[in-house]
Structure 1
Amino acid sequence: MTDVYLLSGFLGSGKTSLLMNLIAQLKAEGKKPAVLMNEFGSISIDSDTVANEENIPLKELLNGCICCTGSEQTEAQLQGLLEEYEHIDVILIETTGAAHPVEALDAVYSPLFAERLTIKGIVTVADSKRWLEREKLSPQIRSLFMEQIRHAHIILANKADLLTESELATVTMELGNFNENAPIIQTVNADISFSFIEETLANMKAISEKQVISGKHLPLSSKLIVFDRSVEKDRFEDWVKSLPDTVYRMKGYVPLVGAKNPYLFQYAYGMVNWLPEYVKMEPQLVVIGEGVQQLEYPG
């Protein structure tokens, strides 16, 4: 299993600085990191910074976001990393600043990698000064900025050196109130210990498994459902309709009664989509949402 960390945050927040810091630390520990970078435009700018690092496996996506519209390309790039390079310990994925975290995870939580990748969590870099001035953003952009923070597992209150002590205290308190599950770390140049991230997410994972019983959970989690028999399409869709609104995404291969191969099934925001497959894929489904660990298909 290869550990995967998703680095999220708005445009210009300091994600690439965080990425470079983590790469240096992992190399110093004797670990082999690989990087998947998403550039917003058609020219790789931030990727060139990583490319200058020696012996760093790198794949990049240009002209868009790691999201549902580019998930196939993302899967291909991840497949390339896993097949072309040996002994990768950690994959660091830097999303474009315009990526929604749920959609970014949708591409990474592919059933193709269910037994090869372990998604450790989302580390979101928040521009502290921009947070204080968020009301100046347009409603749509402000919503994206807030969503990136709301779904984080760890939040870096970055550019702390640009604020007064009073302003920084306000930012830390407001971020903590907005996302009560994620620890807030004040940083300059997104400088943080990888071991701290690793240990914090591991502890949060252990806590979340206990908290499911009481209804508490991390902002986002995933559940892998494996099918041992074919299912009736209508019955399966009825089950999907019965799921709570906190289920955001589903993607996988569902074996249908009467079909030779499992169908590719996708679900997002109440919409379902079925596509036939011409090769036999593993009958398993990845569910992404809040508090999804207890979900099981009853059929």
Structure 2
Amino acid sequence: MIDVYLLSGFLGSGKTSLLQHLIKQWKAEGKLPAVIMNEFGKLPFDSGAVDGDVPLKELLQGCICCTGSEKTEAQIQSLLLEHNPDVILIETTGAAHPVEALDAVMSPLYADRLQFKGIVSVADSKLWLEKEKLSPQVRMLFLEQLRHAHLILLNKSDLLDENELSTVTSGIQMINDHAMVIQTVHGKLPLSFLKQMIPNVNNSDVTKTRIGNELHLSAKLIKFESTVKMENFENWVRNLPSTVYRMKGHVLIEGQKYPMLFQYAYGMVQWLPEYIKMEPQIVLIGENLKEIEWLRGMAHA
């Protein structure tokens, strides 16, 4: 299993500085980190910050969370085949929504090889104090990046006095009481904090992407051992809690030669035929997924 961390945060918050410090620490431990860097423009502006001996894949001209999802899958598969790293760090653009980004990263094609450890969001301390000056759309994105994080860095904390730091810390904890909030300068974070993101334990029926029990946004891989009636599967989907935001993967439907591509987003279901044999498994993304599973007996209920 290869550990995967998603680095989130608003434009200019210090994600690349964090990335550099983490790479240096993993290399010091003799580990091979690999990086996927998402940038908006045609030129890899931040990619030069990554050492030449670190495997790097770039996603240019688009967000990892929308048009770039297929490219993201291809880049991750390429990293796995060419380098087999010990850890993968994915730095998103400052405009990426964390749920959408996680959806792009956790493909059923390789989910059983990856151990997703969590979302690390970098917050600009000064920007928090001035967030009311942002447009409503930008402010909402800024808050969403913090709301879904598993670990929050209160970066540029040296620019605030004690009262301001207290205000920012309490404000962030009010919108996300699950995440640990750590004050940082120049994105310097000891690797030990990431190692505290303890994986879940597998059970015999469901393979889970391993996020600690204290973390709310998570992903879960469910595998199918036999064919499924489409009607039964869709009934199961309709009865899932509203905290399931995304599902995607392949389901072996009764009467079909190959597993069908299935996608779900906020109540909307889509089926597409496949013409090659794909692994019958789906990835769920959302909150409180621990108790959700597909029961074998439901296939022919």
What is the TM-score normalised by the length of structure 2? 0.91
Task: Letter of the 1:99 partner, please give it.
Answer: A
Please list the CA deviations of residues 86-113 of structure 1 after superposition, one character each: whole Å capped at 9, or x if unmatched: 4x11101000010010111111111111
Which residues of 2 match residues 15-34 of structure 1 at below 5 A? 15-34=15-34
Quick check: 1:217–1:290 contact (8 Å CA) kept in 2? Answer: no
Displacement after TM superposition at 1:70 (Å): 2.1
Q: Which has the higher helix share?
A: 1
Q: Does residue 153 of the first structure (1) align with residue 177 of the second (2)?
A: no
1:285 paired residue among 263, 272, 282:
282
Quick check: 1:18–1:191 contact (8 Å CA) kept in 2? Answer: yes
Q: Does residue 219 of the first structure (1) align with residue 205 of the second (2)?
A: no
Judged with a 3 Å threshold, the aligned counterparts in structure 2 of structure 1 residues 236 and 69 are, in CA distance, closer, same or farther, namely farther
1:110 paired residue among 102, 107, 123:
107
Please list the CA deviations of residues 264-283 of structure 1 after superposition, one character each: whole Å capped at 9, or x if unmatched: 11111111111111111111
Partner of 2:57: 59
Q: Quote the Cα distance in structure 1 between the aligned partners of 2:145 and 2:114.
A: 22
Partner of 1:144: 141
Q: Quote the Cα distance in structure 2 between the aligned partners of 1:91 and 1:217.
A: 22
Q: Quote the Cα distance in structure 2 between the aligned partners of 1:249 and 1:217.
A: 20
Quick check: 1:57–1:85 contact (8 Å CA) kept in 2? Answer: yes
Partner of 1:89: 86
Displacement after TM superposition at 1:119 (Å): 0.4
1:251 paired residue among 235, 248, 251:
248
Name the SS of the counterpart of 1:157 in structure 2: strand
Partner of 1:170: 167
Task: Letter of the 1:39 partner, please give it.
Answer: E
Q: Does residue 72 of the first structure (1) align with residue 74 of the second (2)?
A: no
Task: Letter of the 1:14 partner, please give it.
Answer: G
Q: Quote the Cα distance in structure 2 between the aligned partners of 1:174 and 1:290.
A: 22
Q: Quote the Cα distance in structure 2 between the aligned partners of 1:174 and 1:242.
A: 35
Unaligned stretches of 5+ residues in structure 1: 207-215
Q: Quote the Cα distance in structure 2 between the aligned partners of 1:245 and 1:64.
A: 29
Name the SS of the counterpart of 1:115 in structure 2: helix
Quick check: 1:36–1:93 contact (8 Å CA) kept in 2? Answer: yes
Please list the CA deviations of residues 138-189 of structure 1 after superposition, one character each: whole Å capped at 9, or x if unmatched: 1111111100000000000001011111101111111112100001000110
Task: Letter of the 1:11 partner, please give it.
Answer: L
Q: Quote the Cα distance in structure 2 between the aligned partners of 1:219 and 1:295.
A: 14
Quick check: 1:157–1:186 contact (8 Å CA) kept in 2? Answer: yes
Q: Quote the Cα distance in structure 2 between the aligned partners of 1:17 and 1:154.
A: 16
Quick check: 2:112–2:221 contact (8 Å CA) kept in 1? Answer: no
Q: Quote the Cα distance in structure 1 between the aligned partners of 2:156 and 2:113.
A: 35
Displacement after TM superposition at 1:68 (Å): 4.2
Partner of 1:212: none
Name the SS of the counterpart of 2:226 in structure 1: coil
Displacement after TM superposition at 1:238 (Å): 2.1
Q: Quote the Cα distance in structure 2 between the aligned partners of 1:134 and 1:102.
A: 21
Quick check: 1:68–1:106 contact (8 Å CA) kept in 2? Answer: no
Which residues of 2 match residues 230-245 of structure 1 at below 5 A? 230-245=227-242
Partner of 2:208: none
Displacement after TM superposition at 1:262 (Å): 0.3
Displacement after TM superposition at 1:234 (Å): 2.2
Partner of 2:185: 188
Quick check: 1:222–1:293 contact (8 Å CA) kept in 2? Answer: no
Partner of 1:274: 271
What is the TM-score normalised by the length of structure 1? 0.92
Partner of 1:39: 39
Quick check: 1:261–1:280 contact (8 Å CA) kept in 2? Answer: yes
Quick check: 1:248–1:289 contact (8 Å CA) kept in 2? Answer: yes
Q: Quote the Cα distance in structure 1 between the aligned partners of 2:52 and 2:59.
A: 20
Partner of 1:213: none
Quick check: 1:249–1:289 contact (8 Å CA) kept in 2? Answer: yes
Displacement after TM superposition at 1:131 (Å): 0.8
Q: Quote the Cα distance in structure 2 between the aligned partners of 1:29 and 1:119.
A: 20
Task: Give percent identity, aligned residues only.
Answer: 64
Task: Letter of the 2:221 partner, please give it.
Answer: L
